[in-house]
């Protein structure tokens, strides 16, 4: 049955090889079961329920990707958009987390429709590479800013907006230690470096009495506080347009980039250098986002950490299915997730930020028409505390720079239309 579903022999792999790959991938991305509940709890959501929703959404996404698309790509609630969900949409813009979940649901439905009608390739190909690299890097800086804020390394200052906090405090010290542990473990090639760092910092916090020990294993918490609590009607408010665009674009770029990276790593591209069953892979991602919003978590997306499993030999959807099964097993470790303090996740946030900044090497910095919009995105995302604002100003500036430089022929219709929509939103809605 396994051979019939996953075609192991055709992909030159075995059940053992796929199992090792699945465990490897899970270890590299399991940090999300600690980070996501803690982050969404800041939005007022029940941390236990979000923990369950995170595990279930990840498992569901992995199962769909494995059984339906047959790719060794794992999914889970994505980093960056969970921070945007909490700190921008809820805490800054003032929307309830229920409305924010409604926005996630709508973006997932739009993503599904784009995949069904095969419009996703047109959209992906029409967005300039410079903007894609800039958006990824801007989200990285946004995460880094949150990491520094959560650890108390950066604090607010009425005179200068921000200033240096008490860097010798326990929280700041543990955040820095967590980052250094991750870097050390990654450089030694140890899988699960991020998760190990979170656990070590949490253990230290328990030993010194900063965190109360709550046990390790227990029945999963109730999902009822977040299950089907999304407010879809409220998400249709005009002010949510840019938020839904942000959820959609970032998920679209993340997924397409991850699929290509994993496919190249595992030599899964066809003779035309294209990914077979691309539509099924994108549908797995979008349907997991829709289901995740109903369960009570932010956007679910494909994880580039899947490349670790592919490097370990994963070639089929069985790898993803094993990752999904491990996420279900993680449901019984909710007490451990509940003990993780914010400063234990600050190091991992900063580490993920560093990875997302890597794309800046592909920007043509000697071309001001590309460099200026990228710089605007990277600066505005963290300083306005909003991924949506960064995307908005990035598109507007990209078109404006080319208009003033006499490079109108370099613009395509979709970018111009999106820039005009964002400009109208800024003028009339702020």
pLDDT digits (tens, 9 = 90+) for 285-300: 899 999 999 999 999 9
Tell me what pLDDT residue 373 has. 95
Domain ranges of the chain: 12-214+223-349+362-429
Tell me what pLDDT residue 398 has. 95
CA distance 6 to 333: 30
The answer to whether 167 touches 153, Cβ cutoff 8 Å, is yes
The answer to whether 30 touches 330, Cβ cutoff 8 Å, is yes
Residue 260 CA, chain-centre distance (Å), reads: 16
Tell me what pLDDT residue 66 has. 95
Give me 149's structure tokens: 């804020």
Angle at 223 (CA atoms; ends 220, 228), nearest 5 degrees: 160
Give me 297's structure tokens: 């978590």
The three-class DSSP label of residue 411 is coil
> Would you say the C-alpha torsion 289, 196, 257, 14 has a positive or negative sign?
negative
The three-class DSSP label of residue 304 is coil
Q: How many CA atoms lie within 13 A of 51 on its CB side?
A: 23
Residues of the chain with pLDDT under 70: 121, 124, 272-273, 429-430
Phi-psi region of 158 (alpha: psi -120 to 50; beta: other; left: phi over 0): alpha
The answer to whether 296 touches 54, Cβ cutoff 8 Å, is no
CA distance 77 to 302: 9
The continuous run of DSSP H or E covering 302 comes out as strand 300-302
Q: What is 209-272 written as a DSSP string?
A: TSS----S--PPPPSTTTTT---TTGGGSGGGHHHHHHHHHHHHHHHHHHHHHHHHHTT---TT
Tell me what pLDDT residue 267 has. 74
CA distance 169 to 400: 45
Q: What are the Cα distances from residue 57, in Å, to 118, 383, 407? A: 24, 31, 44
Where do we find the tokens 């604090």?
155
Q: What are the Cα distances from residue 267, in Å, to 135, 264, 283, 291? A: 27, 5, 22, 30
Q: What are the Cα distances from residue 134, in Å, to 124, 248, 407? A: 15, 16, 20
CA distance 32 to 28: 10
The answer to whether 77 touches 34, Cβ cutoff 8 Å, is no
The answer to whether 104 touches 85, Cβ cutoff 8 Å, is yes
The three-class DSSP label of residue 168 is coil
Tell me what pLDDT residue 412 has. 85
pTM given for the model:
0.86
Bridge partners of residue 300, in order along the sequence: 77
Query: Could you report how far apart the first and last alpha carbons of the chain are, in Å?
Result: 57
CA distance 380 to 252: 21
Tell me what pLDDT residue 337 has. 85
């Amino acid at each position: 049955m396994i051979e019939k579903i996953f075609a192991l022999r055709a992909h030159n792999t075995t059940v053992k090889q796929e199992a090792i790959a699945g465990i490897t991938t899970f270890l590299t991305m399991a940090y999300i079961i600690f980070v996501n509940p803690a982050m969404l709890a800041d939005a007022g959501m029940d941390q236990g329920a979000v923990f369950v929703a995170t595990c279930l959404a990840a498992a569901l996404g992995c199962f769909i990707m494995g059984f339906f698309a047959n790719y060794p790509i794992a999914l889970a609630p994505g980093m960056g958009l969970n921070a945007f969900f909490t700190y921008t949409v809820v805490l800054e813009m003032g929307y309830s987390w229920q409305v924010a979940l409604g926005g996630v649901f709508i973006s997932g439905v739009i993503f599904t429709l784009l995949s069904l009608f095969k419009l996703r390739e047109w959209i992906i190909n029409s967005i300039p590479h410079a903007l894609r690299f800039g958006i990824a890097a801007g989200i990285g800086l946004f995460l880094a800013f949150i990491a520094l804020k959560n650890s108390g390394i950066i604090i607010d200052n009425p005179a200068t907006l921000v200033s240096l906090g008490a860097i010798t405090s326990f929280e700041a010290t543990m955040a820095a230690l967590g980052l250094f542990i991750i870097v050390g473990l990654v450089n030694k090639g140890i899988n699960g470096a991020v998760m190990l760092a979170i656990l070590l910092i949490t253990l230290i916090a328990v030993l010194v009495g900063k965190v109360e020990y709550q046990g390790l294993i227990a029945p999963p918490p109730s999902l009822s506080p977040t299950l089907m609590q999304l407010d879809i009607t409220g998400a249709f408010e005009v002010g949510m347009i840019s938020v839904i665009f942000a959820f959609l674009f970032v998920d679209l770029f993340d997924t397409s980039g991850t699929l290509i990276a994993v496919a190249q790593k595992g030599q899964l591209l066809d003779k035309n250098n294209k990914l077979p069953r691309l539509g099924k892979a994108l549908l797995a991602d979008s349907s997991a986002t829709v289901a995740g919003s109903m369960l009570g978590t932010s956007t679910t997306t494909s994880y580039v950490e899947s490349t670790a499993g592919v490097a370990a030999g994963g070639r089929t959807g069985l790898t993803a299915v094993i990752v999904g099964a491990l996420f279900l097993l993680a449901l019984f470790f909710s007490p451990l997730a509940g003990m993780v303090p914010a400063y234990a996740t600050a190091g991992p946030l900063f580490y993920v930020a560093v990875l997302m900044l890597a794309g800046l090497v592909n920007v043509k910095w000697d071309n001001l028409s590309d460099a200026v919009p990228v710089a605007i995105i990277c600066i505005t995302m963290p300083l306005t505390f909003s991924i949506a604002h960064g995307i908005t100003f990035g598109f507007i500036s990209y078109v404006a720079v080319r208009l003033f430089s006499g490079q109108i022929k370099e613009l395509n219709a979709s970018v111009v239309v999106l820039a005009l929509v964002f400009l109208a939103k800024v003028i009339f809605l702020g």
